[in-house]
Amino acid sequence: MRQEYFKEAVTKIGKDAVAELEALYDIYDERLYIWMATLWEPEIGGFYFSTSGKETDGFLPDIESTVQILRCLQTSGLTCGKPYEEAVPPFMRAKLVNFAKSLQDKNGYFYHPQWGKNIITPRRGRDLRWATDMLNHFGEKPYYPTPIERINDKKSDALPEWLQSLDAWKKYLDSFDMKTKSYWSSNMLSSQTFQIKAAGEEYVDYLFKWLAENQRSDNGLWEPQVNYASVNGLMKLSIMYCQLGAELPNAERAVLSAITAALSNEKIVFCCQFYNPLECMGNVLENMTKHGTAERAEQIRRIIIERAAELLSVTREKVLLCKRSDGSFSYNPEPRSRLSQKAPVSLGLEEGDVNGATICTNGIIKNVCKAFGIPKIPLYCKADSEIFFDMIENAVKPTKIYAKPDWFDDAINPEKLTENY
């Protein structure tokens, strides 16, 4: 099935690059989607983050893992070319919708019973985005208006205090250290993209004015060094620029910095370090095209294609660092993903997790194809799809083998939460 796609890709990126592309695809097999299917919770209607989470008391499915798997089904070919909302069987659709709606609070946000409301801003913002995105795909509405819909209700507790006034917003932005912590800062901001939009146009305008003032013209980044961390910051912001319809300044320099980071031999600590540069390339080229520099974007794309074979070879070796023995992938080469955005999701064992697995598969193949300007090449075919959905239909409620770990309650207590979890 893949061979026809590879033949077509030769005309655009060359034989050497396609040979490396085939080698990249060879690291994925059916064990990946079989593992994903085992994470389905049939009574709740969502997916767990990890096997250890599925088997341990206190852990439950979460909306981010659920939507990440749904998106991966679509990109990988398991939906046979259909959008995931059309491909999932009716019983699964009903459970997914009920799961998402059950998480919503009257203030419009979505909270998980295993974590409560004491979650950090990126966790809250991400869950809002994931839940509303999935419900929109299914043509469903949440129970209550979301913060995004409460544009004129500035006094509502749906918007955080820093979005209650423009002065508060300016002070909030000035609290970020973009010169040395652009990734952390950008993650905080990007997780609130649609809340910022809901606050009003003046908040969006000031955000991009502030970002432009802090961006460097020599490398298109917000830090002086070109490395994983600084390009990770670019990735988060490149999404914001695209989502909010703003032109990214110094776009060409930003793409070149992303290429440099992708080819870096810097030690990999987590999978976004090799994924983010690829997404940056695609996002920035898309942004350039939408804002009147399509011809220059194609010239930059040709630079990327000239390095395609090298980029693919290096990326493959980095992805393999996160591959686990059961065919899944972990967020860290040295597994330790107890938390996702400071919320407990696993025991931190040597195992795959949904965030890492979908980044290493869905994220990599989608953004490789996007950056090179070639059609997305599916990983799987109809027979694989039938196996996956058969497993979902016949899934049984997971057995909780392990007791809730001692650190779980501390992890959801902001006063006790540390980076060590």
SS (H, E, C) 352-367: CEHHHHHHHHHHHHHH
Over residues 56-80, the pLDDT tens digits come to 999 999 999 999 999 999 999 999 9
Mode of pairing for the β-strands spanning 339-340 and 40-41: unpaired
Tokens representing 66 are 């659920």
Mode of pairing for the β-strands spanning 343-344 and 339-340: antiparallel
Q: What is the pLDDT of residue 394?
A: 97
Query: Per-residue pLDDT for the chain (421 aa), expressed as one digit of tens each?
Result: 999 999 999 999 999 999 999 999 999 999 999 999 999 999 999 999 999 999 999 999 999 999 999 999 999 999 999 999 999 999 999 999 999 999 999 989 999 999 999 899 889 999 999 999 999 999 999 999 988 777 655 545 567 889 989 999 999 999 999 999 999 999 999 989 988 988 889 999 999 999 999 999 999 999 999 999 999 999 999 999 999 999 999 999 999 999 999 999 999 999 999 999 999 999 999 999 988 788 888 999 999 999 999 999 999 999 999 999 999 999 999 877 899 998 999 999 999 999 999 999 999 999 999 999 999 999 999 999 999 999 999 999 999 999 999 999 888 875 655 443 3
DSSP structure class, residue 399: P
Note whether 53 and 348 are within 8 A (CB): no
Note whether 272 and 252 are within 8 A (CB): no
Q: What is the pLDDT of residue 156?
A: 54
- Residue recorded with tokens 């990735």: 235
Note whether 412 and 343 are within 8 A (CB): yes
CA pair distance 401, 412, nearest whole angstrom: 22
Tokens representing 28 are 């994925």
Amino acid letter, 60: L
Q: What is the pLDDT of residue 421?
A: 30
Over residues 214-249, the pLDDT tens digits come to 999 999 999 999 999 999 999 999 999 999 999 999
CA pair distance 403, 244, nearest whole angstrom: 44
Note whether 189 and 125 are within 8 A (CB): no
| CA end-to-end span of the chain | 43
Whole-number percent of the chain with pLDDT over 90? 84
Q: Residue 184, Cα to own-chain centre: how many angstroms? A: 15
For the chain, the domains span: 1-150+322-357+371-421, 160-309
| Phi, psi (rounded to 5 degrees) for 247 | -85, 130
CA pair distance 339, 210, nearest whole angstrom: 31
Q: What is the pLDDT of residue 320?
A: 97
Note whether 197 and 128 are within 8 A (CB): no
Q: What is the pLDDT of residue 160?
A: 85
CA pair distance 189, 385, nearest whole angstrom: 37
CA dihedral 127, 128, 131, 136 (to 10 degrees): -150
Q: What is the pLDDT of residue 420?
A: 34
User: 79: how many CB neighbours lie within 10 A of its CB?
Assistant: 23
Q: What is the pLDDT of residue 343?
A: 94
